[in-house]
Amino acid sequence: MVRTNWKVFEEDYWAISTTLQELLRNSNSTSVILLDKTGQMIASVGEEPRFDMHSFASLCAADFEANAQLAKLIGEKDFSTLYHQGSNESMYLARVANDIILVVLFDKKTTLGLVRLRTKKAVDGLGTVINRLYDKLEYENEEYSEFDKEFTAEAELEIDSLFSD
């Protein structure tokens, strides 16, 4: 079962927002996005990307899930971070807590090392906030290892539409 409806209390909103803003500033990144494993965007800060954020968030979630399956194939429980390097733009993804994904977009004005260092601190802080939020909403703190069938079908349709002529 996957949680798809987010309710964020004011104090949690400010804690998340402050952490994302600090990460953006301290890592010299261009954008920071927080999303869940279904691809639902929870929060974002920084420059407005020049692409469809909903498709991007869905693909990031699918990327993380695909890499989790690859990790299992080679005997790992999970990959907690992913890094994609481009010639001008790069992205760093990190698992936060309860299947929440932090995405950091950055360019050549910063380094992977700085992004990794600052992201680790942000993940720790966000993990505390997310766990507190789950407790408030009385969500069980268990891992959800399978997408529900309706979501999977919708995600496949979305991905197919992205790559069709």
Angle of helix 10-27 versus helix 112-136 axis, rounded to 10: 180
pLDDT in tens, the chain (165 residues): 344 555 677 788 889 999 999 999 999 999 999 999 888 888 999 998 888 888 999 999 999 889 988 999 999 988 889 999 999 999 999 999 867 999 999 999 999 999 999 999 999 999 988 888 877 776 543 444 455 667 777 777 777 777 765
Establish if 148 belongs to a structural domain. Answer: no
What tokens were used for 59? 């693909």
Establish if 156 belongs to a structural domain. Answer: no
- Looking at residue 94, what is its pLDDT? 95
Q: How are beta strands 81-85 and 89-95 bridged, if at all? A: antiparallel
Establish if 154 belongs to a structural domain. Answer: no
Supply the range of the domain harboring residue 23: 10-138
Establish if 103 belongs to a structural domain. Answer: yes
CATH of the domain at 104: 3.30.450.30
CA distance 101 to 92: 10
Establish if 1 belongs to a structural domain. Answer: no
- Looking at residue 10, what is its pLDDT? 79
Count how many domains the chain has: 1
35-69 core/surface letters (b: 16 or more CB in 10 A; e: else): bbbbbbbbbbbbeeeeeeeeebbbbbbbbbbebbe
CA distance 61 to 109: 26
Looking at the whole model, is its pTM more than 0.85?
no
Establish if 98 belongs to a structural domain. Answer: yes
